[in-house]
C-alpha cells in the first residue's frame, strides 16, 4: 500500500479518536478502516455504564462498514491513549475479540497499522497478530 494511503488512514484514526466516549476508562481509541471499495470507515470506542457492553473502536468501524454493504477489509489504522494525553506514547494493539472480528472480513492478509503519529507506526498482517485463526474453514 502507498505511503500516502497509510498516512491518510492514520490521520483518520486520530480524528476518530476525538469522538471517543470513554467516561469510565478515560482511554480514547480511534480506528480507520479501509475497505475493498476504497472507502474509509472511522470508529471510536463507545463505553457503557454496564462495562461489558462497551464497543471497541475497531469493531465500531467494522460494524459501520459492514452495515453499509462492505465485506472486504483491506487495512485498519488504530491510535489509542489516555483521553487527555498530549501525545500518544504507546502503540494500541487490537484486543483479541477485535482481531477475531476483523479476521472475518479481512483474513490473514489484512494490514493492521498501529500508530503513535503519522510517522511513528508499525505495520502487521492480521495473520501475525492472530495466528491459526478460527475461520469458516475451521468448521468444514
Ligand atoms: N479498546 C478499544 O477501543 N480497542 C481495543 O482493541 C482495546 C480496548 C477500548 C475499550 C475501552 O473503552 C477502553 O479501550 C479500555 O479498555
| Domain locations in the chain as residue ranges | 3-139
Residue 114: the pLDDT is 98
- Expressed in angstroms and rounded, the spacing between residue 45 Cα and the centre of ligand 1 is 6
* Residue 124 Cβ < 6 Å to ligand 1: no
Ligand 1 atom showing the smallest separation from residue 54 Cα: 12
**Tell me, what's the pLDDT at 72?**
98
Which of 128, 3, 7 has the alpha carbon at shortest distance from 77? 7
Residue 106 has what pLDDT? 98
**Integer Cα distance of 23 and 32 in angstroms:** 22
Q: In tens digits, what is the pLDDT along the chain, a chain of 140 residues?
A: 999 999 999 999 999 999 999 999 999 999 999 999 999 999 999 999 999 999 999 999 999 999 999 999 999 999 999 999 999 999 999 999 999 999 999 999 999 999 999 999 999 999 999 999 999 999 99
pLDDT at position 24 is: 98
Given the CA of residue 97, which atom of ligand 1 is nearest to it? 6
The pLDDT, as a whole number, for residue 134 is 97
pLDDT at 97: 98
The C-alpha cell of 44 is what?
471510536
Which residues neighbour 121 within 8 Å (Cβ) at sequence distance 6 or greater? 6, 10, 77, 91, 113, 114, 115
- 3-139 CATH, one of 1.10.150.170, 3.40.140.10, 3.10.620.30, 2.40.40.20: 3.40.140.10
Q: Whose CA is nearest to atom 7 of ligand 1?
A: 95
Residues with active-site annotation: 58
> For residue 1, how far is its CA from the centre of ligand 1 (angstroms)?
26
Q: How many CB atoms lie within 10 A of CB 39?
A: 12
Among all chains, which residue has been given the C-alpha cell 474453514?
Answer: 137
Instruction: Tell me, using a 6 A CB cutoff, whether residue 58 lines ligand 1.
Output: yes
Query: How far, rounded to the nearest angstrom, does the alpha carbon of residue 97 sit from its chain's CA centroid?
Result: 11
29 lines ligand 1 (CB under 6 A): yes
Q: What is the pTM of this model?
A: 0.97
pLDDT in tens, 78-110: 999 999 999 999 999 999 999 999 999 999 999
Amino acid at each position: 500500500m502507498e505511503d500516502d494511503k497509510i498516512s491518510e488512514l492514520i490521520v483518520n484514526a486520530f480524528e476518530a479518536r476525538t469522538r471517543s466516549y470513554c467516561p469510565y476508562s478515560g482511554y480514547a481509541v480511534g480506528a480507520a478502516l479501509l475497505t475493498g471499495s476504497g472507502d474509509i470507515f472511522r470508529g471510536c470506542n463507545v463505553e457503557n455504564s454496564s462495562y461489558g457492553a462497551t464497543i471497541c473502536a475497531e469493531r465500531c468501524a467494522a460494524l459501520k462498514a459492514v452495515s453499509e454493504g462492505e465485506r472486504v477489509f483491506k487495512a485498519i489504522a488504530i491510535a489509542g491513549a489516555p483521553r487527555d494525553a498530549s501525545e500518544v506514547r504507546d502503540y494500541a494493539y487490537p484486543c483479541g475479540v477485535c482481531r477475531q472480528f476483523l479476521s472475518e472480513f479481512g483474513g490473514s492478509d489484512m494490514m493492521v497499522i498501529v500508530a503513535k503519529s503519522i510517522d511513528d507506526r508499525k505495520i502487521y498482517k492480521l495473520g501475525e497478530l492472530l495466528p491459526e485463526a478460527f475461520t469458516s474453514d475451521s468448521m468444514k
